[in-house]
């Protein structure tokens, strides 16, 4: 049954002098949300009045100026919702309502009844023009399809005259435009436009739907450029696009369609729509934003947007959804984490004016995502990611030589669990293996006496008092421990820095040393730098398994 030979490729458009490939996006298109109509009719359980109201308020808050709110002639709930928004004065003065109707007289009249009292409204009328529907469903010739469209346009115009207090905008869609011969699509729309006479001041929108996405986006762009070139009154109408996502290219097709001459985009938040979905306005708007173009929509709180959309549609947003998904700014890969950490530090150090961080096309904070989600740790993560989490969430800056020791502990834990590890659990592991001090190795006091280039020292450690000497405090403590426990301590790495600024800042010391050839690491924080260094050494020594330590009181 899986037989590709039953399908034929979509025919390319003969447009050898196409201009759209050389165009770039410089501004946002006119946006029209169809969440409350196209999006709503695609739901298993359509929205109730409360959900519709919540969605409408979100769309207004985001900055949409044109919102398609329903198909009022098709159902009583849609009719009632239109009336609710108007009679309760929920529509801001700068927002235009849009409603859809078929090209049938009684449905058009019912549509105008629902909009009575609106300040400004778009009446969107449509009929199918595709070859397959013309031949197989309606069994009409091209002139028959044009007659349906023109008659519908005439009813739309005549009905508007009965409600002169509203500013009316007329919109026509040749449904299934992508499956319509281009010459025929132009003829139909020219006839509708002639009926509405935009040259006399009437606002007219021609909306070109990819009701079924049938081709690659470049061919769709060719269709749009051809249409715009051949439309008789192109300069007097707004060209709108309504792409669907059957091939997964709805956003790409819309973007290329803008290059090809369109002015306006219809779509839904996060792409909900019939079959495979509508054009995703969030994705396209964020694509613009990431290129330094104002999308004319406020998407700064993506979490709120997702909460409302999921609550109203009962559809969960995929964690890898472009721009909006929970995990789209998250790196688990060790090499990615290392690059992010270094790139963000470079960005900070250089005080760069423009965002240019590895693996992060935008700053996640711009849309309400926090840096806590950027690096998360599992068995695929590397040493840089663990260090970044400790620094980011707990202010613990570790020297690079210590990263492998800390990540080794965390790696073992996540491999045993097989699951992601949280920042708090990383901190617990870090404390347990590098910070926590056995009481026997707690530095209670110390005294240093300097003689020329030598130090004589006394250390009170737990219940013990040790004597030692050396060039400095650490060397003196190593000497005391070597002598007392007959072992060989060598310091491999040592790092120390102040935590904060000012004379009262605490010191953090990190040490890596070997006891009889076995490496141990520890970290200590104290009021003074010498105490931090000595405690770090004692903490590391206390983690060793030297037999001489057994039985120490």
Q: What does the pLDDT look like over 360-388, one tens digit per residue?
A: 999 999 999 987 778 788 777 777 788 88
> For residue range 235-258, what is the model confidence (pLDDT) as tens digits?
999 999 999 999 999 999 999 999
Residues of the chain with CATH 3.30.160.270: 439-549
Q: Please give the pLDDT value at position 545.
A: 54
Query: Could you tell me the CA-to-CA distances from 222 to 18, 173, 179 in Å, in that order?
Result: 7, 18, 14
pLDDT at 76 over 50: yes
pTM: 0.84
pLDDT band at 492 (very low <50, low <70, confident <90, very high): very high
In sequence order, the 6+-apart residues with CB closer than 8 A to the CB of 168 are 120, 121, 122, 123, 160, 202, 203
> For residue range 100-117, what is the model confidence (pLDDT) as tens digits?
999 999 999 999 999 999
Please indicate whether residue 418 or residue 114 has the higher confidence score (pLDDT).
Answer: 114
Topology of domain 19-313 in CATH is TIM Barrel (3.20.20)
> For residue range 299-311, what is the model confidence (pLDDT) as tens digits?
999 999 999 999 9
The fraction of the chain above a pLDDT of 90, given in percent, is 80
Q: Are 448 and 476 in contact (CB under 8 A)?
A: yes
The token pair that represents 96 in the structure block:
């235009």
Topology of domain 439-549 in CATH is Double Stranded RNA Binding Domain (3.30.160)
The token pair that represents 422 in the structure block:
């949280």
Q: Mean per-residue pLDDT for 323-328? A: 93
Q: Mean per-residue pLDDT for 404-416? A: 90
> For residue range 502-519, what is the model confidence (pLDDT) as tens digits?
888 899 999 999 999 999
Query: Could you tell me the CA-to-CA distances from 290 to 257, 359, 390 in Å, in that order?
Result: 19, 13, 29
Residues of the chain with CATH 3.20.20.70: 19-313
First to last CA, the chain: 80
Q: Are 420 and 414 in contact (CB under 8 A)?
A: yes
3-state secondary structure of 230: helix
Q: Please give the pLDDT value at position 552.
A: 45
Task: Please name every residue paired with 470 in a beta bridge, in sequence order, or none if there are none.
Answer: 455
Query: Could you tell me the CA-to-CA distances from 225 to 11, 294, 477 in Å, in that order?
Result: 16, 25, 81
Q: Please give the pLDDT value at position 338.
A: 83
3-state secondary structure of 511: strand
pLDDT band at 551 (very low <50, low <70, confident <90, very high): very low
Tell me what the pLDDT averaged over the chain comes to: 93
Q: Please give the pLDDT value at position 503.
A: 80
Q: Mean per-residue pLDDT for 53-61? A: 98
Could you give the residue ranges of the DSSP H alpha helices within 169-301?
A: 182-196, 217-230, 250-259, 281-290
């Amino acid at each position: 049954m899986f037989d590709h030979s039953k399908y034929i490729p979509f025919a390319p458009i003969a447009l050898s002098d196409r201009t759209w490939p050389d165009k770039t996006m410089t501004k946002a298109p006119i946006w029209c949300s169809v969440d409350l109509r196209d999006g709503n009719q695609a739901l298993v359980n359509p929205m109730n009045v409360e959900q519709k109201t919540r969605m409408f308020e979100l769309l207004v808050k985001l900055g949409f100026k044109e919102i398609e709110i329903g198909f009022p002639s098709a159902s009583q709930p849609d009719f009632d919702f239109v009336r609710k928004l108007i009679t309760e004065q929920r529509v801001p003065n700068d927002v235009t309502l849009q409603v859809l109707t078929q090209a049938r007289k009684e449905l058009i009249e019912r549509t105008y009844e629902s909009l009575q009292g609106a300040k400004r409204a778009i009446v969107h009328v449509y009929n199918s023009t595709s070859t397959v529907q013309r031949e197989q469903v309606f069994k009409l010739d091209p002139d028959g399809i044009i007659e349906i469209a023109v008659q519908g346009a005439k009813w739309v115009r005549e009905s508007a005259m009965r409600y002169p207090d509203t500013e009316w905008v007329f919109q026509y869609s040749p449904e299934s435009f992508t499956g319509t011969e281009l010459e025929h699509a132009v003829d139909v729309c020219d006839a509708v436009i002639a009926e509405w006479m935009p040259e006399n001041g009437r606002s007219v929108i021609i909306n070109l739907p990819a009701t079924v996405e049938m081709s690659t986006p470049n061919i769709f762009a060719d269709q749009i450029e051809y249409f715009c070139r051949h439309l008789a009154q192109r300069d007097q109408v707004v060209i709108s696009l309504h792409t669907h996502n059957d091939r997964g290219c709805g956003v790409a097709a819309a973007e290329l369609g803008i290059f090809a001459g369109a002015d306006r985009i219809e779509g839904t938040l996060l792409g909900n729509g019939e079959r495979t979905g509508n054009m995703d306005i969030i994705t396209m708007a964020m694509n613009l934003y990431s290129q330094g173009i104002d999308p004319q929509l406020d998407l700064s709180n993506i979490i709120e947007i997702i909460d409302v959309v999921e609550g109203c549609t009962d559809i969960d947003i995929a964690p890898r959804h472009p721009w909006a998904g929970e995990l789209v700014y998250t790196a688990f890969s060790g090499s990615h984490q290392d690059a992010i950490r270094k790139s963000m530090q470079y960005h900070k150090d250089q005080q760069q004016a423009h965002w240019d961080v590895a693996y992060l096309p935008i700053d996640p904070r711009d849309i309400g995502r926090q840096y806590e989600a950027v690096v998360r740790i599992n068995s695929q993560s590397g040493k840089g990611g663990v260090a970044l989490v400790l620094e980011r969430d707990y202010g613990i800056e570790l020297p690079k030589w210590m990263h492998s020791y800390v990540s080794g502990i965390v790696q073992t834990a996540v491999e045993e669990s097989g699951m992601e590890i949280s920042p708090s659990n990383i901190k617990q592991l870090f404390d347990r293996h590098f910070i926590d001090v056995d009481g026997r190795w707690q530095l209670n006091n110390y005294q240093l006496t300097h003689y020329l280039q030598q130090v004589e020292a006394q250390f009170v450690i737990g219940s013990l008092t040790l004597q030692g000497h050396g060039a400095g405090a650490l060397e003196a403590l190593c000497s005391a421990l070597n002598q007392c426990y007959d072992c060989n301590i060598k310091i491999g790495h040592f790092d120390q820095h102040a935590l904060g600024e000012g004379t009262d800042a605490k010191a953090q010391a990190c040490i890596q040393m070997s006891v009889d050839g076995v490496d141990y690491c520890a970290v200590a924080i104290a009021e003074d730098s010498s105490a931090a260094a000595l405690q770090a050494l004692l903490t590391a020594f206390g983690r060793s398994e030297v037999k001489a330590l057994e039985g120490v009181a």
